[in-house]
Copies of this chain bind each other. A is one copy, B any other.
Amino acid sequence: MPVTRHIPESTIRRISHYLRALEILESQEATTVSSEELAQRGGTTAAQVRKDLSHFGSFGKRGLGYSVAELADRLRDILGLKCRWRVVLVGAGRIGSALFEYPYFVQRGYDCVAVLDSDPEKIGMSWGPVRIRPVEELELVISSLKGDIVILAVPPEAAQDLADRAVEAGVRAILNFAPVQLRVPAEVHVTYVNLVLELEALSFAITQAGSRT
């Protein structure tokens, strides 16, 4: 089934939440779920659930709700969670190692095929079956190991250059932990995990709350 283009990012995030809710329902052996119940678990409204799902075709039966197993399966499909992705991790620091050991990572089809770092003390070390390689080998690693995704867990000043090199080597998806906006061509998708932004949003909220009392 062809998928509509230009799905808003907020929709994709809610789809992730719906899938999480469905997986909890699966573990509880529930067979059907209403849009109201999905809405409650996803922190939104039933109308929003129906609108979000309508981007991807027609689901559920009026008055009967959705089949938990079928909808979960379809959402995994939509989110690309049935594929396996070959990940090249740049940066073997604390964030990098936390990611590398994150159980969800492998469960969801992310295979870390290479780890690179610039620190001579780290290069040559083994993380499980993966040996840490010098960051100079980025292009070689991407082409020889057919990397789909590059994860940048590096200092902000190093991120843009590494992103440029990864894009040049053919990577079309970057997950960036460095607190800096990357300039990339339109066809490259960058996702940010920016702790600085989250902390600033939080201190903004507390400041506002404080000035209210």
Which of A65-73, A80-88, A116-124, A159-167 lies at the binding interface?
A80-88
A13 touches B108 (CB 8 A): no
Check: A94 CB closer than 8 A to any chain B CB.
yes
CB-CB nearest in chain B for A182: B43
Instruction: Please indicate the chain B residues that have their CB under 8 angstroms from the CB of A148 in the complex.
Output: 206
CB-CB nearest in chain B for A174: B202
Question: Of B3, B193, B203, which contacts A198 at CB under 8 A?
Answer: B193
Question: Of B17, B79, B187, which contacts A203 at CB under 8 A?
Answer: B79
Question: Of B20, B189, B203, which contacts A205 at CB under 8 A?
Answer: B189
Check: A145 CB closer than 8 A to any chain B CB.
no
B16 touches A200 (CB 8 A): yes
Q: How many copies does the complex hold?
A: 2
Check: A149 CB closer than 8 A to any chain B CB.
yes
Check: A64 CB closer than 8 A to any chain B CB.
no
Check: A62 CB closer than 8 A to any chain B CB.
no
Instruction: Please indicate the chain B residues that have their CB under 8 angstroms from the CB of A3 in the complex.
Output: 208, 211
Tell me the residues in window 185-213 of chain A with beta carbons closer than 8 Å to chain B beta carbons: 187, 189, 191-193, 195-209, 211
Check: A113 CB closer than 8 A to any chain B CB.
no
- B-facing mask of A84-103, CB < 8 A → 1, else 0? 01000000011101110110
A59: min CB distance to chain B, Å: 17
- B-facing mask of A160-181, CB < 8 A → 1, else 0? 0000000000001101000111
Sorted nearest first, the 9 A-B pairs with minimum C-beta distance are A80-B207, A94-B98, A80-B203, A189-B205, A16-B200, A191-B202, A173-B206, A79-B200, A191-B198
8 CB-based A-B contacts, threshold 8 Å = A15-B204, A16-B197, A20-B180, A80-B204, A80-B206, A189-B205, A191-B201, A193-B193
